[in-house]
Structure formats: structure tokens, C-alpha cells
Amino acid sequence: MKYPLVFSNRHYVFEIDGKSMLLDTGSPSSFFFENPGKIEVGNKSFQLKASPIPGMKENTEKLVDEKVDGIIGLDIISLFTVVIEKDICFFDIAEIADEEQLKKIENLREYHKDHGTIEFTDKFEGMRDAITVPLKTARGILSFDAEVNGRLVTAFLDTGASNSYAAPSVLAGLESSGTTEDYFALQNEWDTSRVYYNVETKIAGKDFKLRFCTNPRIQGAYNLPEDTAIMGAEELYFDTLVIDISGKKMILV
């Protein structure tokens, strides 16, 4: 079954069973922010607990810029193949002569909404011209191999992350590209001046230029070694994203 999806401010939010839920591969469990209750996902029913963190609903809604009732985490995601399909509005950059206009369009990545669908299914037929990325599980989080700034890293897939992150040693030698707002859910805190970098990145042999921040608190909270990165949803901004845990793969189209 497919559910309506909004990609809002770098996060996947979808309407399901009368609730607005955030897809968070970085969360080991699913929960409602407030009252516990049942939810129907795909062809299965789940009883969810309430979040133990006060104020998490308000902060998440501020971050996502959407109403959010709770989190769908790995406990549910791992039972399905998750297929995300987005309806994208494309800009013809060649037709834009005004540099200030171009900057405004680039900034739409900060606060924009694209619509589509999300499906929780038992079967996915595959797609032509797709990038297939082998998935692993490390430290209880989905991960894959990537090359960031010329360095091989283990990239943890966290669609609930405010930004993407890498250790300072991975981003050594780069000039910052600006600052961004950052919400650290584990401590329910905000950082409004997080420095980010536009970084040459290679995933499954394909070249990308992706945005990474450093955040020692997140590295420390997960006890991550220096040769790791955390990949948020924006960096996997494709028309179609498939997360197939049982098949140990991620598909990007």
C-alpha cells in the first residue's frame, strides 16, 4: 500500500493510518510523540509507545516544518521493503542569467517541499538505470561504504538526521561553505550555527557533491570511530529511493 509523502526540510514525512509520521532509519524503535497507540503499516498492526523525551514533538515539527505525530524506526522498516517515490520540480539552470536568482533557487534545498509516495511492501521488482548500494548493519544502524573527500568511510544511513555528518579528520583541508541549523534529538538541543562543507563523495562508483557538517556530540553519542560518516535524507535526494534490508541493498534512481 502506498501512502502520501512530503519531503520537507530534508526529511521524509508521510500520512499513514490518520497519523503524520517521520521515517527515521537512525531510530531503532518506532513511537508516537505523545499518547501510545496502534498504527497500521502495510499489512501489519503495531502497538507504539510514547516518546520519553519532553518537547521532542515541538522541536521535531520546527525542524521538519510539518505536523509530526511520531517516528517510524528500524523495528518496522526492517520488516518491509520501503519504496520512496518523489515528484520533483526541475529548474532549467541554463535559462537563468541572474546570479542572485540562482542563489535563491539553491537555497530552496533548505526549506522546500516535494511530494510523492512511500510504500511498505514485501516485493520490489527493481528498476532500470538504478544505482544499487550494498547495505550492512553496524552498531545497530544501516550502513554502506562510501568515499568522502577521498577517504573510505562507513556511512550510516539516518533519514532522521538534521544534516549529514563526518569526523573532522574526514573533512580536513576543506573550506566551509556556510552554516546551517542543527537539532540534536538525543539531547533535545538546538545549534543554529553548525558549519557545513560541500564535499566530493563517491557512492557505488558514482560521483556526487554532498553537504557534510562536523558534530563531535553526535560522533561521541554513537561512539563512532574516525572513519565513519552519518548520511541524512537530503544527501540521498533521488527520484526513487528503495531501502531493502532483507535484500541487504539500497537502490537509488
Sheet holding 11-16, edge to edge: 37-41, 44-50, 31-32, 70-72, 19-23, 11-16, 2-8, 113-121, 81-87, 240-244, 249-252, 131-134
Asked if 232 and 201 count as a contact pair (C-beta separation under 8 A), the reply is no
| pLDDT reported for residue 111 | 40
Spans of the chain, pLDDT less than 50 = 88-97, 102, 105-111
Tens of pLDDT, residues 215-236:
666 666 666 677 888 888 777 7
The predicted model scores a pTM of 0.83
| pLDDT reported for residue 16 | 93
